[in-house]
Amino acid sequence: MKEARLVKRGDDWYLNVTMKKKVQVEKQVKGLIAVDINMDFITLGNDKQVIEIPTRLDDSVHYKKLAENLQRKYPKRWRENKRILGRIRSFHIKARNIVQDFAKKVGKWVVDEARRLGANYIVLEDLNKMISHVKGLKKSYREKLYLMQYRRVQQWVEWEAKKQGLNVIYVKPAYSSTTCPKCGEKMVESGYRMLKCGKCGFEDHRDYIAVYNLCARGSLTLLSAPQMRDVIPNR
């Protein structure tokens, strides 16, 4: 046991205990999975299998809008009326809690999937420059982007991975969803969220393509990892 703290919440007392655990981390590459995060789905997998997890962003946005509607309905009263203010705060808290709870669950799901596919490396997108690129986007899109908290999702993935002795690496995300994973050419739209390569004819869902490319970039980062160019489309 590293630390213990007694915390009072309302009329109840809680004992928070911090445990220190030694974890054996295997550095030799056994396999990789990549995680592509967008507003609608968390897409993860490798060239063997890709799965999609629906996000709960719409649920979070719903409560955020309820709070904003109350503020617009009572533009002068909401700051002074305790009942209205309490409702607004509760909606904002629900919106935040939905995203935070989802992020925690995603961390566990990703690690479970890595274990199932025999992967000990998880490849994530380096999103450090993402926030600096959103100023030119529509306000509604920016609000969703901030609410989604991409980095929080990644932090929970990394936290769960470390607890289970898995490795996490970050790669550049640029053009990962529009570059052909077989020949490297730029792909063009062939349907709703579908892309096709004009050179080699490879076609798949853009989120799946992102996963293939992120895995390939992870492989290049880890010199001992196998190359993952010969991907098999899931569709």
Q: Is 101 helix (H, G, I), strand (E, B) or coil?
A: helix
Q: How far apart are CA 233 and CA 216, in angstroms?
A: 15
Sign of the four-CA dihedral 132, 135, 136, 141: positive
The CA–CA distances, whole Å, from 196 to 16, 143, 234 equal: 52, 31, 14
Tell me the pLDDT of the chain averaged across its residues: 88
Would you say residue 106 has pLDDT above 50? Answer: yes
Q: DSSP assignment, residue 12?
A: E
For the chain, give every domain's residue range: 3-221
Burial (0-12, 13-18, 19+ Cβ within 10 Å), 36: buried
Looking at residue 228, its pLDDT comes to: 46
Sheet of strand 194-197: strand arrangement: 187-191, 194-197, 203-205
pLDDT digits (tens, 9 = 90+) for 117-162: 999 999 999 987 766 666 667 777 777 877 788 889 999 999 999 9
Judged by average pLDDT, the poorest of 175-184, 196-205, 219-228 is 219-228
Looking at residue 108, its pLDDT comes to: 97
When pLDDT is cut at 50, 70 and 90, the band that residue 33 belongs to is very high
pLDDT digits (tens, 9 = 90+) for 199-222: 999 999 999 999 999 999 999 998
Residue 176 neighbours by CB distance under 10 Å:
23
Structure pTM?
0.82
Looking at residue 147, its pLDDT comes to: 78
**E strand spans, 87-183:** 121-125, 167-171
Would you say residue 225 has pLDDT above 60? Answer: no
Cβ atoms of 203 and 234 within 8 Å: the answer is no
